[in-house]
Amino acid sequence: MKALVLEGLKDMNVRDIDAPKVPANEVKIQMKYAGICGTDTHLYQGLPGSAQATPPIVLGHENSGQVVEVGADVTTIKVGDRVTIDPNIYCGHCRYCREGRPQLCENLSAVGVTRNGGLAEFVTAPESVVYPIPDELSFKAAALTEPVSCAVHGVKLLDLDPAQHVLIIGDGFIAQLFTAMIKSLGVTHVDVSGHNDQKRDLMKRLGAENVYNNGTETVPSGYDVVVEVVGAPATQAAAVDAAGKGGQVLMFGVANPDQTFALNSYDIFQKELTIKGSFINPYAFEDSLAFLAGHQELVESLISDELTFDQVADFLGGKFDHKVNKAIVNVSESVK
């Protein structure tokens, strides 16, 4: 089968490799689309982040496809099903899995990170992480189930009320999902602090009341909820500063593992702030699919670039001559 294989640092090539065999508890899926995210860029460029991969490996943890074979013990998925994969595979027996917090699993593995992923003609995955997609949902939209599910988990960590004032720090794809999702829950006042003036109209279309350029404009403070989706020291500090008394701060952006940022300890104490981290997507895939089914046109409109295998390395290497909002790979077209 054809696959796009990461063979080393900034070394990615289309190869003919053996199609995967199907263990008894797994299914084999013919890939249709695979999304590309910041984690893939980190892995390609060898940058520090929340995931590590050992080449040779096929990336692609955001994906959709159709089942072509099932293992002998599989009972809930059948050949022909249109599906997406939750890439995160939990051990089920460590302390955190037993406590119902599998995202903290001590033995976490992931499709497209520690085992071959969706940038290939076929991929296998355990039945437990394979989800049928609604009939009305396109393969293209379904490939974004994983990033949407991460935003769903983040929103679930917040104690949201329609009357609250919410600030989203960031204007990239995930920040766009947070804006649309929080607005869909009936929250009236959602502001965005970003750096790209070209995305101002887009953020307004997604429901933002005010959009600030944090490089040239003063962003207000006193927010009930602040969602940080960048992961940089300056924006993390700004998130804490922007929160009002009794406020909630969600740290969603992926930071460098060695990164620190300065904050005023007295502010946390005096304002009684709640600061939470948000890591991957436990118990969120079904809600993510429901959100996509209800907002398919909106989410698909956020896809700016549809790539084939021969373009992916240039994209991950930052060689595109235009700003990319969200890229997705047409795997079906790539493997012809």
Active site residue 54: no
| Contact in structure between 203 and 211 (CB atoms under 8 Å) | yes
Active site residue 153: no
Residue matched to tokens 């009936």: 186
Both tokens assigned to 178: 């947070």
Q: Is the dihedral of CA 74, 80, 86, 89 positive or negative?
A: positive
Q: Is the dihedral of CA 116, 135, 36, 332 positive or negative?
A: positive
From 41, 42, 188, 274, the catalytic residue: 42
SS3 category, 131: strand
Nearest CA among 288, 59, 1, 31 for reference residue 139: 31
Nearest CA among 147, 150, 154, 148 for reference residue 168: 154
297-325 burial code (b ≥16 CB/10 A, e <16): ebbeebbebebbbebbbebbeeeeeeeeb
| Cβ neighbours around 232 below 10 Å, total | 16
Contacts of 162-166 with CB under 8 Å at 24 or more apart are 162/186, 162/187, 162/188, 163/188, 164/189, 164/224, 164/225, 165/189, 165/191, 165/222, 165/223, 165/224, 165/225, 165/244, 166/190, 166/191, 166/223, 166/224, 166/225, 166/226, 166/227
SS3 category, 321: coil
Residue matched to tokens 């008894």: 24
| Cβ neighbours around 8 below 10 Å, total | 11
Nearest CA among 253, 18, 200 for reference residue 122: 18
From 39, 124, 179, 235, the catalytic residue: 39
| Contact in structure between 123 and 116 (CB atoms under 8 Å) | yes
Q: So which residues are the catalytic ones? A: 39, 42
